[in-house]
Structure 1
Amino acid sequence: MKGAQENSHSKTPSTSTKRSGSSLGSVDEYAAQCKNCMKWRVIDTQEEFEEIRSKFIDEPFYCSKRGKSCDDPADLEYDSTRTWVMDKPNLPKAPEGFRRTLVLRKDYSKLDAYYITPTGKKLRTRNEIAAYLKDHPEHKGVSVTDFDFSSPKVMQDTVPEYFEQKDSATKRPKVVVKDEA
């Protein structure tokens, strides 16, 4: 495990995006880190991940919650074979019928959070959610405050080498392609 990960962020549940395959740009695997041994355990579904993440501070994750022991090998190793992102702990689960979706920007600068409604509409802002809830009174008890657009942190040491993150002076994305010659 890299030293940069031995901080408070490393104890929060994590998502990762693989670099190869058709899922580039979206989360394709969920993982949580054991509070005792710091090993990463794969979480089977987004729903299960959101449940763990929503209670993480009060109910930390342990290997035993996945039927494993801290003596077992890690399910995933934190390395640069995939781009890792760290979600904040204790974010609320998506309301019943809604799904939170995260999409990695092409420049690897951040992920954008969206909510998919039960009717399949993609909502990008709190204003869009408020309008949707107003137009769909069947979602009684669901409030705009039940949605969180916080973006997970992209772990810079896992971003492909040929990408340079946003230049802080211009705030414009810079993509640098590595010379293969």
Structure 2
Amino acid sequence: MKGGQENSNSKPLSTPSKRSGSSHGSVDLHAAQCKNCLKWRVIDTQDEFEEIRSKFTDDPFYCSKKGKTCDDPADMEYNSTRTWVMDKPNLPKAPEGFKRTLVLRKDYSKLDAYYITPTGKKLRTRNEIAAYLKDHPEHKGVSVSDFDFSSPKIMQDTVPEYFEQKDSATKKPKVVVKDEA
């Protein structure tokens, strides 16, 4: 990593930290890094972000895809004002009618990926996806392989220095200090 950023093949999502006052653990912003200038461009919707991410190796992201040039200022800077995560390139876009959701664990250890079905049901595993598809034959052409539960990488240099973590033995909150070494 150079300057806190991964190479231009990485795809960031941003999750609010307690510093921002937003609700904990929800994705509030999508962004992509230009392959040429490495500037971050805000992506307007999750659907647009997933489209970019799903084709990243064959069709890298460039500023021009957002109507900008590499000479224009970045839409945002990579910094610790929010917690950043990097999604893997080339993950499949969620099938039509389904939504991929990421939830940050309270201890900032990882994000969990879920899929919300067109009927609003939350699916957490491939087995649940298979059972849902079996019970809903109207989703012809959709298979379990169209879903990916990979968890984005949390960028540790953007995790708040202090956060509450439940100690499972005592159930009392304790303060954990991020190791700067």
> For the superposition of Structure 1 and Structure 2, which TM-score range results when normalised by the shorter chain?
0.7 to 0.9
Change (3 A) 1:141 1:175: farther
- Match in the other structure for 2:14: 16
2: CA distance, partners of 1:102 / 1:47: 14
Counterpart check, 1:123 vs 2:123: yes
Change (3 A) 1:30 1:175: farther
Unaligned runs of 5+ in 2: 166-172
Provide Cα deviations, 1:38-84, integer angstroms capped at 9, x if missing partner: 00000000000000000001100000100011111111100000000
- Match in the other structure for 1:145: 145
Displacement after TM superposition at 1:164 (Å): 9.2
Displacement after TM superposition at 1:99 (Å): 0.3
1: CA distance, partners of 2:164 / 2:61: 33
- Match in the other structure for 1:51: 51
Over the residues paired in the alignment, what is the CA RMSD in angstroms?
2.0
> SS of the counterpart of 1:176?
strand
- Match in the other structure for 1:176: 175
Change (3 A) 1:175 1:126: farther
Task: Note the 1:24-173 alignment, pairs <5 A.
Answer: 24-163=24-163
Aligned residues: 168
1: CA distance, partners of 2:132 / 2:33: 36
> SS of the counterpart of 1:32?
strand
Q: Which amino acid is 2:58 matched to? A: D
2: CA distance, partners of 1:104 / 1:175: 19
Provide Cα deviations, 1:117-141, integer angstroms capped at 9, x if missing partner: 0000000000111110111010111
Runs of 4+ in 1 over 3 A off after TM superposition: none
The answer to whether the 8 Å contact 2:101/2:114 transfers is: yes
Displacement after TM superposition at 1:3 (Å): 2.5
2: CA distance, partners of 1:98 / 1:54: 15
Q: Which moves more between the two structures, 36-45 or 155-164? A: 155-164
Provide Cα deviations, 1:99-118, integer angstroms capped at 9, x if missing partner: 00001000011100000000
Displacement after TM superposition at 1:18 (Å): 1.9
2: CA distance, partners of 1:90 / 1:101: 17
2: CA distance, partners of 1:77 / 1:164: 26
Unaligned runs of 5+ in 1: 166-173
Change (3 A) 1:163 1:21: closer
Displacement after TM superposition at 1:13 (Å): 1.8
